[in-house]
Amino acid sequence: MRFRRRFWDPDGTRYGLPTYPWQLAPEGLATRRQLRSSSLRPGGQEPVAQVMWQSRRVVRVAYLYRTDLALPVRPMTVPKYRALAAAMLARRTCPICRVDRGYVVSVRLGMCVPCADAPPMYSAA
């Protein structure tokens, strides 16, 4: 496997944090997304290392957290679920016709597609 030598800094002298190339991080470290897929969260801990890789012309960074210090994800409570459902309903409701369209109403249009395509109610004549 080939990797970029400039991203190999396991003692953290160059970047301040121990840095590893893509897919070469040591066991016991995970990104936020990897923690989330295991139903864990960082739990307030600071990143202990980072993974760096080059994507096209941009250098990207993902912070790594210790999995042994990660905490379980907080369960969704009924009030949180209701608040999330209300927020999603508000995003799906057209402010002009007040109909739940079943999809998120475009912020650019500011209304649903049928309202945007409808002829104006009044003319400037």
Q: What is the pLDDT of residues 13-52, one digit of tens each?
A: 898 999 999 889 999 999 999 999 999 999 999 999 999 9
Same domain membership, residue 108 and residue 83: yes
| Shared-domain flag, residues 22 and 64 | yes
Residue 49 lies in a domain: yes
pLDDT in tens, 59-74: 999 999 999 999 999 9
pTM over 0.75: no
Same domain, 18 and 59: yes
d(CA 116, CA 107): 12
Do 68 and 82 lie in a common domain? no
Q: Give how many domains the chain has, as a whole number.
A: 2
Claim to verify: residue 27 and residue 67 sit in the same structural domain? yes
Instruction: For residues 66 and 88, state if they share a domain.
Output: no
Domain residues for the domain of 99 are 78-117
Q: Name the residue among 70, 68, 66 with its Cα closest to residue 41.
A: 70
pLDDT at 10 over 90: no
